[in-house]
Structure 1
């Protein structure tokens, strides 16, 4: 018969062994959609600290990312190796580029190789995500990283996201019993929901740089999915999902006004209240923040907006909109910080008779000045200004 002390030691050993084995075996398939379009399908798998991802990017002609790697016990990346290729029916695939990540001597190294040209960059931090690792595979990382989330509601785990060749903050936060928020200021925050067994159920990426929603199912045969979509593309070429970069320029009075923005499309989606949530900031476009350039001041209800460059954000709500002019002019559209607003003004909103498929921003002349108008889907929001007091 085991003594009480020996039994306690055995139980304690089992406890520490179980902790050392965390996370458990996890795998699944995540299907991302943008309105009526399926943008990506991919399998993810985590066993111990080793992981693999295979993603078919369907936003244009099919491309595939395959990567595998290992995590440190806290979820930061220790090694990653993979490639992106374009599958071709009945022929060898077209390799687009390869990539490799490894951590050594207090730094993370990321090597990319394209057309026999290799580039290696060094970052003096540990990371949880990097844009250069497999393109669309980036939005599959939260499905793996949720396994490293803190156990207590409200607690967070902080690391880094490599984007624009710099290290930005990356966070994993437990927001509820089975809900988590994962992402960075640049990629935006993804909301993950688990079922009662702890398996991933859904991912909400509305408000992120992708504005997508994800549904998790059991792993599928990715080879069959890839070939089916290649065959479909050959029969009917896929129209790429892309945001159109555009600008509006005009002179009102003696003031030159330019707004540069990216134009997303409706694509069969419910825009306001869903794609653009109510009562939170919106980049008022897509991709990089919408940018306003003035060579002389404008006046909104008698309040001056000095000559210079600003990013434009709005807060749509059912009861009206607010437009914000922010002194950080050259930022990504999800990096908004309210403390950098220099002016906030209320906007009027009207319902349109016809749908505006592509987001459209106009600057039109009006009495004593002009108006900035934002039209998309079935709404138009506008704000008047004058060029002098």
Structure 2
């Protein structure tokens, strides 16, 4: 009898152990929107440390990314392979393909297109890379959420390959059902989790993408692709592109030029939502907005010397602060306050006619002065300057 009890208990223990060792499986879909526009939708599947993504991008035309790979146990990438194609022309219409392998303390990333190929190597493990495209970048959080630390306040650190260099990438547990995930280039995404730790929603407002994501059930992705290709053939889509532009003026012998990227409203609530209050804003899109001066300017008597600077602002419901930063050539989300050179309060006004595109202006004011301003949506912010102290 004791033998039966012993073997019965042993069998139960082995069954429990085997069950505990079964890899968790999480699968579902994620759909991203930019204001009223759906920008991408796709399926994710994480089975233990093996994963797959199929992503349907919708701007300006439909294209599909398919990839699969294996994580290390901490969520860093061990192997990955994938490709992107135009479904309107068939799966053989390759746009680009890529592989990632980690070996000998090095991450190797190979990318190929019909006309060129490259292999780059980095002496780090990574969780993210720009090499596979923006939509792959923002779908990875659906997988990486499962490698977040368990304790509130703890962080997991890795790397994000952007602009051919390794930037710090972080996943931080901020609440029982909330994570912060991202890098200085991506910006920090807020990930909302369900009670089982699966992804429920993504808040990317204030990041490089300014998108929102919602998780759902696993999709019949072939039907999604077919429906979007059919829609594309019947209705052209406007590309969600931030228009590069510049404005320049010469005032009293001072040459002033501002280069910036112009985001559009696209039916969104801009200030207080797309541009959150009381946080640093790149005051444009993509790379940081830049100003070039061949001679000094003076703001409220404070000198801004000859040279190039990046421009940032801090919007609040009661006013804006204009910031000139000594790091001119940076991505717009990489603001470092240690390099802030000058901070100036701005004058605010409400526009009678909303501005769809962010618009900078430089105009003359008085005998030796001028005004730098920008308008977007329903607001205009201005700062006066002089060319002499």
Correspondence for 1:257:
256
Q: Go from structure 1 to structure 2 and tell me whether the alpha carbon gap of 1:254 and 1:75 turns closer, same or farther (over 3 Å shift).
A: same
Structure 1 distance, partners of 2:50, 2:42, is 17
Measured after TM superposition, the shift of residue 366 of structure 1 is 0.8
| CA deviation string 1:205-243 (max 9, x = no partner) | 001111000011111111111111111111111111100
| CA deviation string 1:263-284 (max 9, x = no partner) | 0000000000000000000000
Structure 2 distance, partners of 1:241, 1:13, is 53
Q: Go from structure 1 to structure 2 and tell me whether the alpha carbon gap of 1:371 and 1:82 turns closer, same or farther (over 3 Å shift).
A: same
Q: Give ranges in structure 1 of 5+ residues lacking alignment.
A: none
1:376 aligns with 2:376: yes
Q: TM-score, normalised by structure 1?
A: 0.95
Measured after TM superposition, the shift of residue 188 of structure 1 is 0.7
Q: TM-score, normalised by structure 2?
A: 0.95
Q: Give ranges in structure 2 of 5+ residues lacking alignment.
A: none
Measured after TM superposition, the shift of residue 67 of structure 1 is 0.2
Correspondence for 1:150:
149
Measured after TM superposition, the shift of residue 348 of structure 1 is 1.1
Residues 283 and 333 of structure 1 are in contact (CA less than 8 Å); yes or no, is this contact kept in structure 2?
A: yes
Structure 2 distance, partners of 1:78, 1:111, is 14
Residues 156 and 172 of structure 1 are in contact (CA less than 8 Å); yes or no, is this contact kept in structure 2?
A: yes
Q: Go from structure 1 to structure 2 and tell me whether the alpha carbon gap of 1:74 and 1:323 turns closer, same or farther (over 3 Å shift).
A: same
Correspondence for 1:244:
243
Residues 94 and 114 of structure 2 are in contact (CA less than 8 Å); yes or no, is this contact kept in structure 1?
A: no
1:338 aligns with 2:352: no
Residues 82 and 134 of structure 1 are in contact (CA less than 8 Å); yes or no, is this contact kept in structure 2?
A: no
Residue aligned with 1:55, SS = strand
Measured after TM superposition, the shift of residue 13 of structure 1 is 11
Q: Go from structure 1 to structure 2 and tell me whether the alpha carbon gap of 1:187 and 1:16 turns closer, same or farther (over 3 Å shift).
A: farther
Task: List, as ranges, runs of 4+ consecutive aligned residues in structure 1 with deviation greater than 4 Å.
Answer: 1-4, 10-17
Correspondence for 1:190:
189
Larger deviation: 322-331 or 360-369?
360-369
Structure 1 distance, partners of 2:386, 2:278, is 27
Measured after TM superposition, the shift of residue 135 of structure 1 is 3.9
Structure 1 distance, partners of 2:13, 2:77, is 31
Structure 2 distance, partners of 1:307, 1:365, is 19
Structure 2 distance, partners of 1:210, 1:128, is 18
Residues 85 and 91 of structure 2 are in contact (CA less than 8 Å); yes or no, is this contact kept in structure 1?
A: no
Measured after TM superposition, the shift of residue 16 of structure 1 is 10
Correspondence for 1:88:
88
Structure 1 distance, partners of 2:51, 2:203, is 22
Count of matched residue positions in the alignment of Structure 1 and Structure 2: 385
